[in-house]
Amino acid sequence: MTELKNDRYLRALLKEPVDYTPVWMMRQAGRYLPEYKATRAQAGDFMSLCKNAELACEVTLQPLRRYDLDAAILFSDILTIPDAMGLGLYFETGEGPKFERPITCKADVEKIGLPDPEGELQYVMNAVRTIRKGLDGQVPLIGFSGSPWTLATYMVEGGSSKAFTKIKKMMYADPQTLHLLLDKLADSVIEYLNAQIKAGAQSVMVFDTWGGVLTPRDYNDFSLQYMHKIVDGLVRENEGRRVPVTLFTKNGGMWLEKIAATGCDGVGLDWTIDMAEAKRRIGDKVALQGNMDPSMLYASPERIREEVATILEGFGTGSGHVFNLGHGIHLDVPPENAGVFVDAVHELSRPYHK
């Protein structure tokens, strides 16, 4: 395998020394870049882009040509697993993802099987292999999946939701059925992420986008325990290196200690928690990823640099911080502002790594 020229991202996640804080952005390959829009138009639609390994590789590499990022993230979607389970994923313009056959009862859950990562999901593995080759050791490649709870919300609601009434009805009125679904999803995610690692992903991340809509008890029972199961089931070493795993629960600031106790290497933070507080609570146990508000990228270059400085100061000296946004970059952010952000992290973080 090609030797990694820049492994700061992997070293920071393992709390090993680095000379500056590494940075990447959630959704860094995406709609804020004109070159992405051109490639997506060429593909025809979003899922066609995901399923074409060469084009998925192209959009993964696009932000690396513009910015001095320290990691690439696989271009894919969190709903690949439910799609491969036969729920009929489609995208309504302006409305986001929808499923033709949502999960409504126990019989629906019993019907779905575990997708084969090198069968129904082989297009994702082909993308991973193509991207690794295209990166040529420039930076590490991050693989990812949605969390079981987050995937289940889409599968039961039939698409995006604001109130989550259908899945919460199932959770409270028929918890057995939901646990059956979550357990199947956890097994699928383990197989899926391990296949990504085998195909060349050098780190993996689990996105629990909707964990923050749960009560503390329900978060433990319906989200965290299944992410814990995934962490326990992952391949943690490949190609002679440790494969770090990061867990990210949006609005999960109240549960940091519990997330850190799963055995993950990194905990993703959204912008609603102070970096210094997160460092005090769990920074001796795991690496921290985050956590600038994505909307800060609308600000002036001076204000962006000021915010970067504040977050770096909050973390303080030493390794164990991967700088990121607290969620995905917004589609109408000026691309040059993202460049200001990346450069500011590299420049302003060096004094913290002497």
Give the Å distances, CA to CA, from 297 to 36, 188, 303, 310, 324: 19, 36, 9, 15, 12
**Is residue 101 packed enough to be buried (19+ CB in 10 Å), middle (13-18) or exposed (0-12)?**
middle
Q: Compute the mean pLDDT over every residue in the chain, rounded to the nearest whole number.
A: 97
Which CATH entry fits the domain spanning 46-292: 3.90.180.10, 3.40.50.11290, 3.40.50.620, 3.20.20.210?
3.20.20.210
The verdict on whether 31 is a catalytic residue reads yes
Do 57 and 130 form a contact (C-beta atoms < 8 A)?
yes
Residues 188, 117 contacting (CB under 8 angstroms): no
The pLDDT value given to residue 278: 98
Query: Is 28 within any annotated ligand binding site?
Result: yes
Contact 291, 328 (CB under 8 A): no
23 contacts 344 by C-beta, under 8 angstroms: no
Residue among 67, 154, 192, 219 flagged as catalytic: 154
Answer yes or no: 40 catalytic.
Answer: yes
Average pLDDT score over residue span 124-144: 98
Determine the Cα–Cα distance for residues 33 and 75; give it in Å rounded to an integer: 14
pLDDT digits (tens, 9 = 90+) for 54-68: 999 999 999 999 999
Q: What is the pLDDT of residues 277-302, one digit of tens each?
A: 999 999 999 999 999 999 999 999 99
Q: What is the pLDDT of residue 92?
A: 77
Model confidence at 114: pLDDT above 90: yes
Q: Is 154 a catalytic residue?
A: yes
Q: In which band, very low, low, confident or very high, does the pLDDT at 52 lie, cut at 50, 70 and 90?
A: very high
Specify the residue for token string 């932000």. Answer: 63
Ligand-binding annotation for 123, yes or no, is no
**327 annotated ligand-binding residue:** yes
- Give φ, ψ of 3 to 5 degrees: -70, 145
Statement: residue 353 has pLDDT above 80 = yes
**303 is a catalytic site residue:** no
pLDDT tens for residues 332-352?
Answer: 999 999 999 999 999 999 999
User: pLDDT value at position 20?
Assistant: 98
Residue 210's SS3 state is: coil
Terminal-to-terminal C-alpha distance of the chain: 31
Inform me whether the pLDDT recorded for 1 exceeds 70.
no
Amino acid 291: pLDDT: 96
The pLDDT of residue 91 = 85
DSSP label at 212? G
Q: Is residue 18's pLDDT more than 70?
A: yes
Write down the catalytic residue from 70, 77, 83, 208: 77
Over residues 187-202, the pLDDT tens digits come to 999 999 999 999 999 9
- The string of pLDDT tens digits covering residues 311-326 is 999 999 999 999 999 9
User: Taking residues 46-51, what's their average pLDDT?
Assistant: 94
Q: Is 200 annotated as a binding residue?
A: no
Residue 309 pLDDT exceeds 90:
yes
Closest-CA residue to 314 (of 278, 275, 282, 344): 275
Question: Is 11 known as a binding-site position?
Answer: no
Task: Write down the catalytic residue from 27, 241, 242, 281.
Answer: 27
Active site residue 77: yes
Please indicate if the annotation marks 30 as binding a ligand: yes
Question: Which pLDDT belongs to residue 96?
Answer: 85
Helix (H) or strand (E) holding 342: helix 335-349
The full set of domain ranges for the chain reads 46-292
Written as six digits, the tokens of 348 are 């302003």
User: What distance lies between CA 127 and its chain's CA centroid?
Assistant: 16
* 333: nearest Cα among 39, 30, 93: 30
pLDDT in tens, 60-90: 999 999 999 999 999 999 999 999 999 999 8
Average pLDDT, integer, range 118-130: 98
pTM of structure:
0.97
